[in-house]
Amino acid sequence: MKRFMKLSLCLIVALSCIGLIPSSHAQGKKTLTVGFDQNFPPFGYVNKGKYVGFDIDLAREAAKRMGYKLKLQPIDWDSKDMELDSGTIDCIWNGFTMTGREKQYTWSKPYLNNRQVVVVKKASDIKSLKDLKGKIVSCQKESSTESALNSAKHKALTSSFKQLLKVSDYNTGLMDLTSGGVDALCMDEFVAKFQIKDKTDTYRILKQTLSSEKYAIGFKKGNTALRDKVQKQMDAMIKDGTFASLEKKWFGDSGEGEAEKTAATSSLLSDLKDLGSGMLTTLQIFILTLLFSLPLGLVIALGRMSKNGLLRNIVKVYISIMRGTPLMLQLLVVYFGPYYMFGVDVTSAYRGIAVIIAFVLNYAAYFAEIYRSGIASMPKGQYEAARVLGYNSVQTFFIIIMPQVWKRILPSITNEVITLVKDTSLAFSIAYAEMFTQAKALAANERSMMPFVAAAIFYYVFNFIVAALMDYCEKRMSYYD
């Protein structure tokens, strides 16, 4: 019982340390959780390890006036509707286009006008929209740009493209444009001006636009109570000049404001420093996954080898599912499943817990098969000798068999552990801010590949250390060689 209490206490401490369960401080105040795309400057992005942007400032001021604690939650843009429906965020506040989506959300009043433009290389022969015929054009998935290109108005234009590529974020699109992978990139005008403002000798924006639209704050359909509270503060900010002040701060009179001043300088050292919190999160996923999946894998392996046919087949199906479906899909199911399958609202705090659950369940299945192969490889003579020496079955397994099994399966375990280091990046699929997610956000802000280089160095060094440690363990266990 004492051991159980100690284990439970350690688990609670571990979860609290990584913010997987809410702290008492957070429980004492109402929270406004704002979902946003952290790769969408100047409305919301990462600068020097902090979330900044025009919409971030608006949300921060509104929450302050409402007496709410503000929680800024980066989301995967493809999953924004699932995030809102499941209750992990209260609203989408991130240069969010209401035009064409009026019936899908409960909206605030529009607060900004925007246009959809086309960015091309400076030396490109594309001068107008009709010149896009036969070209490869790119846009962001689930964006208003994609909606504009798929509208009846632009049906003929879109069908004239050689190909329409849909990328996850604008930074990827710009890198595609730079490398020659695409001929043109369609995007929001505010974002385009921010992205190319110091690269006007490389890119230009076509004078013709695709469409115009209005930005507003999107709430879950029917959540008029929260919408009205936020709208009241927005109206007050417009009336007392706060909105105009923030608008001038970020966009200025000529489109150059705070965004110009806060654009981060890209260097390997500064990027490694900014990626610090992401590195810590990656380490936490790695350690907690190993901590729980290694013992769970042994239990599953014993179930897989059980003489009980029902138990054996249940475990066999479980392993088959875990190994036969992508980990990314399992992350989405574990995170959004409680709401969509059982109607249970989940909170943003569940995001980290879902990551650990999905990783543990997945890796335990792989470890189980490794354990099973090791146990099955042991000769029957080992069991017979232990019985002759007076060991019971439990003593035989843990004192005689398992030490030898560990030695045999260590190389296979090492391979899985190294794979786990790289797989931690899959947590981005539910917008958990591990290091790869942070690197993408920094790259969007800096418009540079340097954050990815910094991330690659971290992964390599981390794997190098893990491999060295496992190699040391193998040598220590080679006592008969």
pLDDT digits (tens, 9 = 90+) for 111-147: 999 899 999 998 899 999 999 999 999 998 878 888 8
What φ, ψ does residue 23 adopt, rounded to 5°? -85, 165
Confidence of residue 263 (pLDDT cuts 50, 70, 90): very low
Q: Is the confidence at residue 4, as pLDDT, over 50?
A: no
Helix (H) or strand (E) holding 165: strand 163-167
C-alpha pair distances (Å), 312 with each of 298, 299, 374, 394, 431: 14, 12, 18, 20, 36
Confidence of residue 480 (pLDDT cuts 50, 70, 90): low
| pLDDT tens sequence across 344-377 | 877 777 889 999 999 999 999 999 999 999 999 9
For domain 31-108+216-251, give the CATH number.
3.40.190.10
Residue 477 carries which side chain, given as an amino acid letter?
M
Q: Where are the domains of the chain?
A: 31-108+216-251, 112-215, 268-477
| pLDDT tens sequence across 283-328 | 999 999 999 999 999 999 999 999 999 999 999 999 999 999 999 9
- The pLDDT value recorded for residue 262 is 46
Compute the residue count for the chain.
481
- The pLDDT value recorded for residue 260 is 44
| pLDDT tens sequence across 342-352 | 888 777 778 89
Q: Is the confidence at residue 203, as pLDDT, over 70?
A: yes
C-alpha pair distances (Å), 436 with each of 77, 423, 451, 453: 16, 10, 9, 11
Residue 379 carries which side chain, given as an amino acid letter?
P
- The pLDDT value recorded for residue 238 is 93
| pLDDT tens sequence across 395-409 | 999 999 999 999 899
CA–CA gap between residue 391 and residue 387 (Å, rounded) = 5
Tokens 């001068």 correspond to 127
- The pLDDT value recorded for residue 14 is 54
C-alpha pair distances (Å), 9 with each of 3, 16, 460: 10, 11, 34
- The pLDDT value recorded for residue 168 is 76
| Overall average pLDDT of the 79-91 stretch | 89
**pTM of the full structure:** 0.73
| pLDDT tens sequence across 92-103 | 998 898 888 888
Q: Is 3.40.50.150 the CATH classification of the domain at 112-215?
A: no
Quick check: do 31-108+216-251 and 112-215 share a fold?
yes
| Overall average pLDDT of the 208-214 stretch | 89
- The pLDDT value recorded for residue 49 is 74
Superfamily grouping for domain 268-477: MetI-like (1.10.3720.10)
